[in-house]
């Protein structure tokens, strides 16, 4: 079996080629893989008659998830190089996604439409998704409150802050990740608006912790910022590991994510 170690804007992946064999790791094995290879997510590429491949995704804690934007871009790069095509279709548990080549050696993925209903996130009860009733810190003087929420195939809560570096994200992230408001947990974004085309973002990922980049988190931050009138519908997202360009297309309602991919190593196991 072939194993690729890759990253997308610093988001680290261990990707197994399971198109000609069954790959069913246990949660314990997945956690070992994540720790040994320092991977935020572990993925397997599987055969699928509906698309060029099916992508199965696990977080570093061994939990299976439906979506991973940067991981989909990494797999799209592998399939594009392997096939020589300009576009590939990747089936995930969340949706059928399209990956394509972009200028400068970058890779784009059409992430589809954001899900904006409270039940789509999901939330524990009906709330305004532009600012849910959640506070961190003293009730009368919280340090953070009312995050915007959206699903990009996985749940995201986005706090808009004046300075992302002013917050202890490893301490705050877990408090929100499994807050009762989110019955399936949530990714937690800390977004600093630099201007209408630029957002500084750090993300505490559900099941992975603080990562150098989060593709679906970048998409979520742009969607929430644009809905709030804080940015245009296209912006550059500056993450700890690199930059992503996110475009929420007004005509199709689809979110297109473009960014770098790096192949670090290839192993036969």
| Residue positions annotated with a catalytic role | 68, 214
In angstroms, rounded to a whole number, what is the distance separating the alpha carbons of residues 113 and 124? 22
Kindly report the three-state secondary structure assignment for every residue of the chain.
Answer: CEEEEEEECCEEEEEEECCCCCCCCCHHHHHHHHHHHCCCEEEEEECCCCCCEEEEEEECCCCEECCCHHHHHHHHHHHHHHHCCCEEEEECCCCEEEEEECHHHCEEEECCCCECCCCCCCCCCCCCCCCCCCEECCCCCCCEECCEEEECCCEEEEEECCCHHHCCHHHHHHHHHCCCCCCCCCEEEEEEEEECCEEEEEEEECCCEEECCCHHHHHHHHHHHHHCCCCCCEEEEEECCEEEEEEECCCCCCEEEEECCEEEEEEEC
CA nearest 110: which of 92, 98, 93? Answer: 98
């Amino acid at each position: 079996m072939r194993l690729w170690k890759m990253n997308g804007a610093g988001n680290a992946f261990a990707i197994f080629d399971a198109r000609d064999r069954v790959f069913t790791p246990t949660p314990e094995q997945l956690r070992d893989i994540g720790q040994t290879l320092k991977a935020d997510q572990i993925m397997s590429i599987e055969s699928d008659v509906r698309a060029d491949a099916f992508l199965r995704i696990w977080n570093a804690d061994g939990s299976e998830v439906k979506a991973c934007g940067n991981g989909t871009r990494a797999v799209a790069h592998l399939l594009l190089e392997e096939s020589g095509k300009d576009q590939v279709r990747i089936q995930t548990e969340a949706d059928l996604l399209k990956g394509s080549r972009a200028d400068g050696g970058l890779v784009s993925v059409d992430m589809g439409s954001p899900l904006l209903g409270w039940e789509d996130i999901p939330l524990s009860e009906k709330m305004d998704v532009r600012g849910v009733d959640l506070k961190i810190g003293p009730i009368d003087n919280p340090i953070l409150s009312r995050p915007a929420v959206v699903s990009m195939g996985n749940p995201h809560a986005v706090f808009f802050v004046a300075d992302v570096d002013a917050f202890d994200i490893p301490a705050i992230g877990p408090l929100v990740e499994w807050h009762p408001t989110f019955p399936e947990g949530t990714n937690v974004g800390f977004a600093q608006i630099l201007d209408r085309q630029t957002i500084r973002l750090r993300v505490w990922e559900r099941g992975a912790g603080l990562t150098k980049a989060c593709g679906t988190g970048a998409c979520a931050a742009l969607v929430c910022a644009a809905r709030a009138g804080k940015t245009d519908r296209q912006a550059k997202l500056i993450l700890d590991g690199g930059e992503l360009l996110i475009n929420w297309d007004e005509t199709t309602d689809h979110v297109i994510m473009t960014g770098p991919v790096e192949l670090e190593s290839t192993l036969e196991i």
